[in-house]
Homo-oligomer: A and B are copies of this chain.
Amino acid sequence: MKKFVNDPANFVPEFMKGVMLANPDLLEAVPEFQMIKRKDRPVADKVSIVQGSGSGHEPAHVMAVGPGMLDGACQGPVFAAPPVDACYETIKALASDAGVLVLVNNYQGDRMAWDMACEMAEAEGIKVKQFLINDDVAVKDSLYTVGRRGVAGNFFVIKACGAAAAAGKSLDEVLAVAEKVNNNVRTMGVALTSCIPPAKGTPIFEIGDDEMEVGIGIHGEPGRERTKITSADEITKTLFDAVQVDLPFESGDKVALMINGLGGTPISELYLLYGKAHELAEEHGLTVARNYVGEYCTSLEMAGCSLTMLKLDDELADLLAAPAEVAIRTF
């Protein structure tokens, strides 16, 4: 297994230890629940934004904790939901008078855990609401979901809700922001290789040297079809067309455009894809008001990418432009 690991059973706590050592001023950890939270949250009059899901999608979820982003997050094992008690403790640790908004990506395991955790928190008088993210247009239902999967669009929901919460919006107002983003964001991905979950030690699926999986899920779930690898431009067009037609995004729309790397694809290839995606957007009469190129929601070291578009109005454009800070910094 060509990975940097010690005992695969400790992979998640060990990478979380690194995140903590790199961010001693900003973050605090609750190792028992694989939880990381902002040191300066909760505060009574601000809505807390929390999340928690399987590991292997970094920087989602604990690496997205910080001012203007998540207030706290808990990690499950690689590709498995966090336990109910970790979800419950995360809500409790961030509970404020203004309330807690839980952003759940649509996977059955995560939904079950957060449903129960929210019930438990409500029974204790904590003000909490949940919101389900399902931006992946690839498939209607999937291996681990009823309905569409939540993927890289999650970043935009976090960013917009984090900015709204920082601005002092109420729980219902922040929830309305989440709904607006989710209603206007669409994603589809493609994989060139499988990833290797550390505890498994072997690829999660087989794929030929000349093949790609179009519409891949971020846990290696099947997508729309297995085809021969085509050119970067053709791949970008396949992803763009699937996303564009789904909302649909129409001439005159202002959009945020994201090329997200799935973990093993270098930034040079992501910018090459971005160039084509930007041109396709302009050919459709869309204005790219903001762009995002890098890793936002990954699948360990999978070679692949996803394309996300979010239709912007003035409110969303302002929320995306608001300052934010996370555990991962370049400078």
Contacts and interface: CB of A to CB of B under 8 A. Distances in A.
Interface of A: 2-6, 11, 14-22, 55-56, 58-59, 63, 159, 192-193, 209, 229, 231-233, 235, 263-276, 278-279, 288, 291-295, 298, 300-301, 303, 305, 320, 324, 326, 328-331
A263 B263 contact: no
Given A18-B270, A22-B274, A292-B329, 15 more contacts: A2-B193, A2-B303, A3-B303, A4-B232, A5-B232, A6-B232, A15-B271, A18-B275, A18-B293, A21-B279, A58-B266, A58-B267, A159-B331, A266-B301, A268-B300
Q: Which 8 A-B pairs have the closest CB atoms?
A: A18-B275, A18-B271, A18-B274, A17-B275, A4-B232, A2-B192, A15-B272, A4-B269
B264 A264 contact: yes
A20 B5 CA distance: 37
Contact of A18 (B19, B235, B278, B298): B278
Q: What is the oligomeric copy number?
A: 2
A275 B2 contact: no
A4 B273 contact: yes
A195 to B, nearest CB: 8
A123 to B, nearest CB: 34
Q: From A235, A264, A298, A300, name the one whose CB has the most chain B CB atoms within 10 angstroms.
A: A264
Contacts of A4: 192, 232, 235, 265, 269-270, 272-273, 305
